[in-house]
Amino acid sequence: MKITDILATGPTYSFEFFPPKTPAAAEALTTALTELEPLAPSFASVTYGAGGGTREMTHDIVTGLHRDTSVTPMAHLTCVCHSRAELVDITSRYRDAGIENILALGGDPPKDLDLPPGELEHAIDLVRLVRDVGDFAIGVAAFPEPHPKSPSLAVDRARTAEKLAEADFAITQFFFDAEHYFDLVSSLHDLGVDKPVIPGIMPATAISSIKRMTELQGSDFPTWLSDKMHAVADDPEAVFKVGVEEATTLSRRLLDGGAPGLHFITLNRSRATQMIYENLGLTPAS
């Protein structure tokens, strides 16, 4: 089923997974999928290593979800380090396998590998390529804070509006202050774009990992959240619960403010997402 059709029926609740690189990680992914499928997600996305390092794993997980589960899958795809012909081939394989949803991303080239830059420069170019290959629902990324490479907030909002105007929906990077999301949506509206923007939710359940991930993403680890987590830093379970509670509060604010759904970045673990679902009173029927 196309995500555009799913969005038309009401709020969506979706999950994001990444391809495992070790047997232990593969087992964790299998466990997470098994434990989260009963929550009846609207769809699930699978990330894609820059340069195609996890190309086949992404393809196998996405097609496996389509073939073996009740979950609607979406494949992430990036421009970097790929020729146009490679991207046409990858997209055609998804089309022929019955996959109807693709998240078109610019991507960042891996720093530790000497790879060619790729023939497509921006995500909007990939959106157009995917449109030419098949009848897909196409998503793009949005940065609420904004993208760290943008020269200004205004420029970032303008670029996001341009690519979303040609895509069908957007999914944001994770963030912790609802105001960032509402400012993004308001700015896009002012630029004439009102397509669905689904907020990405990633609970801050461990201090070291959230600091690292916010730095990699170029976003803010707000002082108020850092202070709450450091206040119980000697108790990992208490830190975990703080992260879940704050993610629940954020999710409620977003839904109450009109967000078209929530996209949970699971990191191939199920517990935090399950707890937030319970806190929000979500059921498969809802």
Burial class for 241, CB neighbours closer than 10 Å (0-12, 13-18, 19+) = middle
Catalytic residue chosen out of the listed positions 16, 100, 145, 246: 16
Residue 21 has phi, psi (to 5 degrees) of -115, -5
Q: Are 118 and 85 within 8 A, CB to CB?
A: no
Residue 34's CB is within 10 A of a number of other CB atoms, namely: 11
**Residues whose CB falls within 8 Å of the CB of residue 92, separated by 6 or more in sequence, listed in order:** 133, 134
Q: Is 16 a catalytic residue?
A: yes
**Sign of the dihedral through C-alpha 4, 155, 146, 191:** negative
Q: What is the 3-state secondary structure (H, E, C) of 155-188?
A: HHHHHHHHHHHHCCEEEEEECCCHHHHHHHHHHH
Token pair of 30 as six digits: 């299998």
Contacts 24+ apart (CB under 8 A), 212-218: 213/174, 217/148, 217/173, 217/174, 218/145, 218/147, 218/148, 218/149
- Write out the H or E segment, with its range, that includes residue 269: none
Please identify every residue annotated as catalytic. 16
